[in-house]
């Protein structure tokens, strides 16, 4: 008797956000509002999620798999980059008002699933709810500082 294959359960967007350090300080109602603008995307191994110079539209949470995040400026980029794992946030340029394009590359080094959210829509929510905006900007500051410190140290 052949049993049908069952796809692994995809956690709800709210559940993913709740277990992601970047969003952990938010209230349940705030998480639910953000979850509305989220979409699940899947990438095969060696697929580009985004590349240096592309429009910085979305912020991502890695739900499953591994992603190589490599920052670049002009002709300089990190050698190996940073390997991101489940629960990490990347694509932060989508929340930086002056950033029109990506300054990094994100490559799926294993098959992966991400939660993507439009940066412009999230920024509008942050403007409307200053507590949400403040908490996410604090997290964004830590994320950018960590990425740039890793880049500078090689």
15-48 pLDDT tens trace: 999 999 999 999 999 999 999 999 999 999 999 9
pTM for the predicted model, two decimal places: 0.86
Q: Token pair for residue 13?
A: 């967007």
**Is there a domain that residue 28 lies in?**
no
Helix (H) and strand (E) counts for the chain?
A: 4, 9
Q: Is residue 2 assigned to a domain?
A: no
Q: Which residue intervals of the chain are DSSP H helices?
A: 13-18, 28-36, 119-128, 130-153
CATH number for position 75 = 2.60.120.10
What's the total number of domains in the chain? 1
Q: Is there a domain that residue 111 lies in?
A: yes
The CB-side HSE value for 96 (13 A sphere, CA atoms) comes to: 17
Distance CA 37, CA 136 (A): 16
Domain containing residue 89: 40-119+134-143
Residue 113 lies in a domain: yes
Say whether pLDDT at 148 is over 90. Answer: no
Q: Is residue 77 part of a domain?
A: yes
pLDDT band (50, 70, 90) for residue 1: very low
pLDDT digits (tens, 9 = 90+) for 78-98: 455 789 999 999 999 999 988
Residue 17 lies in a domain: no
Domain presence at residue 60:
yes
Domain contains 34 = no
């Amino acid at each position: 008797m052949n049993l049908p294959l069952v796809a692994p359960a995809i956690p709800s967007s709210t559940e993913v956000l709740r277990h992601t350090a970047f969003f952990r300080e938010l209230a349940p109602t705030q998480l639910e509002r953000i979850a509305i603008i989220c979409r699940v995307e899947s990438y095969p191994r060696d697929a580009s999620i985004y590349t240096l110079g592309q429009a910085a539209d979305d912020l991502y949470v890695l739900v499953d798999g591994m992603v190589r995040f490599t920052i670049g400026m002009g002709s300089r980029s990190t050698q190996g980059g940073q390997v991101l794992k489940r629960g990490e946030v990347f694509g932060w340029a989508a929340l930086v008002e002056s950033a029109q394009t990506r300054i990094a590359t994100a490559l799926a080094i294993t098959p992966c699933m991400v939660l993507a959210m439009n940066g412009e829509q999230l920024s509008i929510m942050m403007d409307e709810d200053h507590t949400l905006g403040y908490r996410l900007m604090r997290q964004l500051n830590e994320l950018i500082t960590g990425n740039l410190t890793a880049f500078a140290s090689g």
